[in-house]
Amino acid sequence: MAELTATSFELASCQATVFTPDGDLAVSKVMRDLYPSLATLFDGEPTILPPVPEGAPLEIPRIILESKSHEWRCEFSPARVNVYWRRAKSTVACVALGDFFAEAVKILLQYAAQLSPRIARLAALSTRFSPHEKPGLFLARHFCKDRWDKAPLNRPENFELHAHKRFTLTSDFTVNSWARSKTGKVSGEGDEKLIVLFEQDLNTLAEEAPEKGFSEAEIKKFFLEAATELDSILGLYYPSP
């Protein structure tokens, strides 16, 4: 059965998010002052959603920008801004994780400079995958001792492992780190391929958010270091022989 290492995985999606819990978003200001500088990357038609009912979740996007290729997407809501890169059917070459976060930082810092929100939390996410003929059995054998392979885990169709820990990312950021390995499927040309999925989420602490306000320098530092850390964690879960 084929083994997987970090280099076996391809990028499916990545995301950079800033949380703005004070709940204020000036739609007209975003479109007037920020959108023109983003229109080259997000060259699709922008979507401005109608006003939502009072009491609706602040996380609902009010503005959605997207590239014509559907690879790049940016969502603005009163509570958060999300920047995504996602593999599309037309994707020829995947973006490098470090390049994505470098581009996302530019967008988020422009947003911060134009609207001056209090940014209370930061999150960096990635999803990667690797084709495998028996992903459930591979994951069971990869993460479990041999004795569990004898009966309860001798032929699993699906398998998931979720791990959470908290640590300090350099000396400046205490973060939650979620890593999830699981089976999945991806649509190919006329068929479905079995895959191993590896999902990661690095985020600053929710309990610090009420008093926190990240500076532009801190935002840039977090995301650039997160790119390196996400790759490092992948290598720990799927090391080379």
| Helix 216-237, helix 97-115: angle, nearest 10 | 160
Q: What is the mean pLDDT of the chain?
A: 92
> Between 92 and 151, where is the model more confident?
92
Of 24-28, 137-141, 209-213, where does mean pLDDT reach its minimum? 137-141
Taken in order 144, 227, 72, 201, the sign of the CA dihedral is positive
Q: What is the pLDDT of residue 79?
A: 96
Q: What is the pLDDT of residue 153?
A: 54
Report how far residue 116's alpha carbon sits from residue 96's, in angstroms, rounded to the nearest whole number: 29
Report how far residue 135's alpha carbon sits from residue 75's, in angstroms, rounded to the nearest whole number: 33
Taken in order 100, 215, 203, 38, the sign of the CA dihedral is negative
- For the segment 79-86, the average pLDDT, to the nearest whole number, is 98
| pLDDT for residue 109 is more than 70 | yes
CA dihedral 188, 192, 198, 201 (to 10 degrees): 70
pLDDT in tens, 10-59: 999 999 999 999 988 999 999 999 999 999 999 999 999 998 888 889 99
| pLDDT for residue 149 is more than 70 | no
Listed residue (188, 204, 200, 202) closest to 238, CA to CA: 200
| pLDDT for residue 154 is more than 60 | no
Report how far residue 107's alpha carbon sits from residue 16's, in angstroms, rounded to the nearest whole number: 10
Binned at pLDDT 50, 70 and 90, residue 152 comes out as: low
Binned at pLDDT 50, 70 and 90, residue 126 comes out as: very high
Give the full edge-to-edge strand order of the sheet including 173-187. Answer: 47-48, 63-66, 72-76, 80-86, 10-19, 121-131, 192-204, 173-187, 160-169
- For the segment 168-174, the average pLDDT, to the nearest whole number, is 89
| pLDDT for residue 139 is more than 80 | yes
> Between 107 and 154, where is the model more confident?
107
- Judged by phi (left if over 0) then psi (alpha if -120 to 50, else beta), residue 203 lies in beta
| Helices vs strands, H then E, count in the chain | 5, 9
Listed residue (74, 77, 172) closest to 117, CA to CA: 77
| pLDDT for residue 114 is more than 80 | yes
**Phi, psi of 192, rounded to the nearest 5 degrees:** -115, 140
| pLDDT for residue 156 is more than 70 | no
Neighbours of 148 (CB within 10 A): 13
| pLDDT for residue 119 is more than 60 | yes
Q: What is the pLDDT of residue 191?
A: 79
Alpha-carbon distances, residue 165 vs 158, 171, 190, 201 (angstroms): 24, 17, 40, 11
Spans of all domains in the chain: 9-236
